[in-house]
Chains A and B, each alone.
Chain A
C-alpha cells in the first residue's frame, strides 16, 4: 500500500482572523475588546505551537450498499450511514486521509486554561480547530489535483462521527495506516490524539463531484450544523 505524507507550513494554510471571530460567534472584525488583541497575539505565536501534517492512501474498488448504508473497502466494512454512502456511491476509488494541526496547539490551549486564562485557552482552541480544517482543505486540494491527472474528480470529505457515521469506525480507518501515521493515534474510544486532527474519506471517480452545501440532502434533525445554520446570532 502506498502512502502520501507531508508536513505543511503555516503559511501554506489559509488562516483568516475573521474566521476565528466567526467561530467565536462574532462577525469578522466585530469582536469586542479585548478579543481582537488576544487573537492577534495568539496569531503571532502560532508558528511556535503548530506542526500541521497530513497524509493519505488510495484504495480501489470500494463497494457501496445503499440498502445497508455500508461502504466496503480494503477488506473492512464501514457503517457510513445513508448520507455518506449516497454521496460516495459513484466513487471508483477512495482516498483515506488523516491530518492534524499537531500536538503543540492542544497543549498550549490546555496550559492557558490551567493557568486561569480560559479566554486565551478558548481562542487558542479555536485557532487549533481552524488550522486542522485548513490542513484538511489543503490535503483535499492535493488529492483533487492528483485525481485530476487521470481526469477524475473528487467528492466532499466525510468523517467518522458526523452524518451518522459512528466514531468507532476510526479503528478500521486507521488500520490502513502505519502506527502513529502523521503522529496521530487513537484512544480506546476512537478519539484522535492530537485532538486537533481530522480523518475521513474522499471519493474519486468520473461521476463524483464536490457539493458546496450538503445539509439539504440530510434529514438528521439532531445535527449541530443544521442548528448552527438556522441560528443566526445578533451580536450586541
Chain B
C-alpha cells in the first residue's frame, strides 16, 4: 500500500503525468500519477492518504528542490500538472466532504502588478499541500482582497509583488486589511521582498520560496 503512495509521490516529484506521457524519459511507458492515484483508490487506500502520503509528499520534495535551485519553474509546473492529474480522482471526495481541506488561502498579485508566475507556483504548491486556493489573479485591488476575506471567513491571505514600485501598494493593502480584519493572517512573497519589509508593513509571514509558504500554513 505504502509502495503505491511512494510511486505517486515519485511521479509528482518528477512530473510523470500519465502512462502516455513520454516524460521524464527514464519513466517512459510506466504509469503516471493519473493511473496510480486511480489504482490506489481502487485498492482501498483512503483518499486522504493518497493526498497526504502521495501528492503532498511529491510536491514537498519538488518544493525543496526548487528552493535549493536544483530544479526550475518549468519542472515545478510539470509536477503541478502530475498532481492535477491525480487530484482529478480525488475531486469527488472533496465534493462529498470525505476529504477535508486544511483551510482556504486567498492569493493574488497586488494592484499595479501583473506578474503571476511566482503567485501561480505558490498557488499550486499550496493546493498540493491540501488547501483550498482562491486565486484572485493579478492587479488585485485592496477592496477585492477585503471582499474575499469576508466571503471566506478564517481564510489566510497570500500577497505577491514583483516590482519594487508595487511594494508600496502591498503596504497599503496590508495596512487596510489589518485595519478591517486584524486577525486575518497575511503572508507575502515576491522577488524584491525581504523579512525586514514584511516587518515594516505589518504582514505576518514572508517566504522567499513557495515551499516556505506551505510550511508556514502547516505551522499556523
Contacts and interface: CB of A to CB of B under 8 A. Distances in A.
Interface residues of B, number: 37
B117 A222 contact: no
B22 A34 contact: yes
B192 A224 contact: yes
B98 interface: no
Interface residues of A, number: 40
Interface stretch (B30-38, B50-58, B159-167, B180-188): B159-167
A35 B24 contact: no
Interface stretch (B1-9, B65-73, B210-218): B65-73
B215 to A, nearest CB: 21
A161 B23 contact: no
A164 B191 CA distance: 15
A34 B73 CA distance: 13
A170 to B, nearest CB: 10
Interface in B1-48: 22-25
Interface in A181-236: 187, 189-191, 195, 220-224, 227-228, 231, 233-236
Given A189-B139, A227-B191, A227-B192, A24 B74 contact: yes
By Cβ-Cβ distance, the 3 closest A-B pairs, closest first, are: A25-B72, A222-B192, A224-B191
Interface of B: 22-25, 69-75, 77-78, 80-81, 84, 111-114, 117, 120, 124, 139, 141, 162-168, 191-194, 197
19 contacts: A24-B73, A25-B72, A33-B24, A34-B23, A35-B74, A116-B81, A117-B81, A118-B120, A122-B77, A161-B165, A162-B164, A164-B164, A165-B165, A166-B168, A191-B113, A191-B139, A222-B164, A222-B193, A224-B164
